[in-house]
A and B are shown apart, each in its own frame.
Chain A
Amino acid sequence: MNGKLKWLASWFEKHQPKGRWSWLGSTYEAFHTFAFTPNRVTSRGSHVRDAVDLKRAMITVVIALMPAMIFGMWNIGYQHYLATPEPLTSNPSPFTCFWFGFLRMLPMLAVSYIVGLGIEFTFAQIRHHQVNEGFLVTGFLIPMIMPVTTPLWQLALATAFAVIIGKEVFGGTGMNFLNPALVARAFLFFSYPTRMSGDNVWIAADLWGTDAIAGATPLAELAAGMQPSASVLDMLIGTIPGSTCETSVIAILLGAIILLVTGIASWRIMLSVILGGGLMGLLFNTIGANTYMQLPFYYHYLMGGFMFGAVFMATDPVTAAQTNIGKWIYGFLIGAFAVMLRVLNPAYPEGMMLSILLMNCFAPLIDHCVVARNIKRRQKRALIKSKVTAR
C-alpha cells in the first residue's frame, strides 16, 4: 500500500472488529471490500476467474437502467407541469422538469436502498455470510416500476416484504425463484389497489405529497373500452403517464443495447418475449371481437411495462430459465400471457408483472423438461450405438 489512500487502509486496519464487536464482521467486510480489492489469494489449485464478477454485472445493469431513470425523472416533471395550469410554469424548461422529477425520485430511491440494504446487512450478520451485491439492482428497480405518488411507507413495506419473503427466506441472492422487484410491486398491487392502478396515481400533484392529478394511462383507457389518446410517437418517446421510469421505449432500448453488447442479459429471452407478445397480438387481431382485440399488435410493445419487463425483468439471470431452449419457451410465454391478460381481463390493465411472476414459478419446470428430454434423446442415441457395436 503506497498510494494516497494509505490513511484509509490503516483506518480499516485499526478498526477491524474484534472481541466484543466481532459479530459485526460481515458488515466490516462489506465496507472494506467496497473500498479495497481483497488482498487474500487462494493458496492451492487452479481457479479460472472471469473479469465480470457479481459486482461488475450488477453495476452494468444499473448503468443500463440509467437512460430510463433519467428520462423517467424528466417525464415526472413534464407530466406534472402539463397537468397543472400554473401561469408561471406553463412552459417549463427541460431542466425544471428534470429537477422536479429528481426531487420526487430521490426519497423513493433512498427509502428503497435504506430498507433493503438494512435488511440484507442484518441477515448477513445473523447468518455469518458476507454481504453481497444482490440488492444493488433490485433497490434501483423498485422505485422505477411504482407510480410516482406511492407513499414512502408503503414503498418501505413493499421493499421489506420483497427482500425478506421474496429472497432471504429462500437463502438470499441467487436462491430466490421470484424477481424481488416484481414481488415488491405485486405486494403493493394486491395490498393497496387504489394506490397502484386507476386514473388517480400517475401524475404528482405537488412536490412532496401523495396527491395525484387525474390522468389515465393508455392501458387504462383501453381497458375502459376507449381508444388510447396518446399517439404512437408519444408512446415511443414516453411522454405519457405511467409508472415512474417505464414509459419510454427508446430509453429502455438504449439500456437493452448496453445489456446485449456486454452479454449480461440473454437476447433469447428478450427476443422471445417480443415474439410471444406480437404473435398473441396478431391472434387477437384475427379474432377481432372488440376494439381492444382490433388494436394493432405493435401497440402492446409501446404501452405500459411491456418493454421494461422484457428487457430488465424477464432477463433476470436468477429467476429466468437457464437452458437455451428453456429461455425461448419461458420468454415466449411471458409475452403471450402478458398480452392475453391485458386484452381479456379488464380487472388487470397491465399483465406484464403477473405474467413474469407466473413464468418465474414455471422456469425450473421448463428447465427440468428440457434437460430430461435431452437426456432421453442422447440415451436413445447411445443405445443404438451400443447395439451397432455389439453386432
Chain B
Amino acid sequence: MNVKKLLIEPLRKTNPVTVLVLGICSCLAVTAKLKPALVMGVSVTVVTALSNFIISLLRKGIPNRIRIIVQLLVVSTLVILVDQFLKAFAYDVSKQLSVYVGLIITNCIIMGRLEAFALSHGPGESFLDGLGNGLGYSLILIIVAFFRELLGSGTLLGYQIIPQSWYEAGYQNNGLMILPPMALIVIGIVMWINNSKTESK
C-alpha cells in the first residue's frame, strides 16, 4: 500500500477540482469567505473518506445492479450526520453554508471516487484515497477563498488584514471578488498555473 502516493497525488497531479474538474459548483458557492470554505472542505473530506471506507468494506456484498442506490444510501447517511453535527456545534457556519452541506450528496467527487476506486480496492487504501481527494478539494477551496476574502473584503477568517491606513490612502476592496463570476475566474487561474507546472514535467 503506497500511502504517500494515495495522499499526495490528489493534491496536485490528479486534483479532483483542477485536473478532473469535479465539484466545481460548491467551489463557486462557498468560497466568498475563508471560514465556510474551511468547514466545507473538512465536511467533504470526512464524507469522502468514510464513504470510501464503508463502500469498500461492503463491495463484495453489493449486487452490481443496485450499487448506486447503496452508495447513495451510505453517502446521504454520512452527509446527514455531518449536517446535524454542524447544526449542533457550529450553528453560524452551518447557516452560512445553508443547502450546500446537504448538496455534498451530489458532489461528483464522492461518487467518482466510490465508482473508480472504492469498488475495486481494500478498505485501508480506499480510506486514504478518499482522504487524499477530500484534501485536494479542500486545498483548492482554501486557495480560492483566501484570495476572494483577502481582496474582496480585506479580511481573513473575519480578521482585518489590510491596514486601515491603506484605505485612507485610497485603497478599495474589490467588489467583483465577492461576486460568483470571480470564483470561476480564480479557479481558472489556479488550473492554469497547476496545469502549466504539471504538464511541463
Binding site for B on A (CB under 8 A): 151, 153-154, 165, 169, 187, 190-195, 210
Contact = CB atoms under 8 A, between A and B. Distances in A.
21 contacts: A151-B170, A153-B170, A154-B172, A165-B185, A169-B188, A169-B192, A187-B176, A190-B175, A190-B176, A190-B179, A191-B174, A191-B175, A191-B176, A191-B177, A192-B172, A192-B174, A192-B175, A193-B175, A194-B172, A195-B172, A210-B170
Nearest to A152: B170
Nearest to A186: B176
Contacts of B175: 190-193
Contacts of B179: 190
Interface in B143-187: 170, 172, 174-177, 179, 185
Contacts of A187: 176
A165 B185 CA distance: 8
Given A153-B170, A154-B172, 14 more contacts: A151-B170, A169-B188, A169-B192, A190-B175, A190-B176, A190-B179, A191-B174, A191-B175, A191-B176, A191-B177, A192-B172, A192-B174, A194-B172, A195-B172
Q: Which of A154, A190, A193 has the most CB of B within 10 A?
A: A190
A149 B73 CA distance: 59
A195 B173 CA distance: 12
Tell me the interface secondary structure of chain B in the complex: helix
Nearest to B188: A169
- Main DSSP-derived SS at the A contact region: helix
A195 B175 CA distance: 11
Contacts of A154: 172
A195 to B, nearest CB: 7
A191 B151 CA distance: 10
Interface string B65-104: 0000000000000000000000000000000000000000
B170 to A, nearest CB: 6
A190 B177 CA distance: 9
A23 B56 CA distance: 53
Which of B172, B177, B188 is the most central at the interface, judged by chain A CB atoms within 10 Å of its CB? B172
A180 B137 CA distance: 32
Nearest to B175: A191
Contacts of A210: 170
A151 to B, nearest CB: 6
A50 B61 CA distance: 73
A147 to B, nearest CB: 14
Contacts of B177: 191
A193 B172 CA distance: 10
Contacts of A193: 175
Nearest to B151: A191
Contacts of A151: 170
Contacts of A192: 172, 174-175
Contacts of A191: 174-177
Contacts of B192: 169
A191 B174 CA distance: 5
Query: Chain B CB within 10 Å — which of A153, A191, A195 has the most?
Result: A191
A210 B179 CA distance: 26
A187 B188 CA distance: 17
A190 B188 CA distance: 19
A165 B170 CA distance: 25
Contacts of A190: 175-176, 179
Nearest to A192: B172
Contacts of B176: 187, 190-191
A194 B167 CA distance: 14
A269 B176 CA distance: 31
A66 B12 CA distance: 50
Contacts of B170: 151, 153, 210
Contacts of B172: 154, 192, 194-195
Contacts of A153: 170
A273 to B, nearest CB: 26
A193 B176 CA distance: 9
Interface string B122-133: 000000000000
Nearest to A154: B172
Nearest to A164: B189
Contacts of B188: 169
Nearest to A210: B170
